[in-house]
Amino acid sequence: MADFARDVADNGAENDTMAAVERIAQDVIEDIEHGRVPGDTAEVLDERLRAEHIELRPEALDALADDVEEEASR
């Protein structure tokens, strides 16, 4: 399994935030596997994270999206 926390670890996020990021990443993986993610994974993640008041740097968001896509393709 991908280490989603590693992607945002240097973002200064606290543990509650990390748990939310991991939960959202897992939800997006499931949605990709079921064909429910239209468009760019990074945009979907960004939208869902912002809904939880979590904002990641672009490079952290891109790394997270790459890991989510890789995990979903397994």
Residue 29, token pair as written in the block: 């993986």
Query: What integer pLDDT is reported at residue 34 of this predicted model?
Result: 94
Q: For residue range 6-37, what is the model confidence (pLDDT) as tens digits?
A: 555 555 555 688 889 999 999 999 999 999 99
CA 36 from centroid of its chain's CA atoms: 15
Query: What integer pLDDT is reported at residue 15 of this predicted model?
Result: 64
Amino acid at 54: I
* Nearest Cα to Cα of residue 47 among 71, 34, 31: 31
* Nearest Cα to Cα of residue 60 among 17, 30, 27, 29: 17
Q: For residue range 42-69, what is the model confidence (pLDDT) as tens digits?
A: 999 999 999 999 999 999 999 999 999 9
With 0.85 as the threshold, say if the pTM is over it. Answer: no
Residue 61, token pair as written in the block: 């968001």
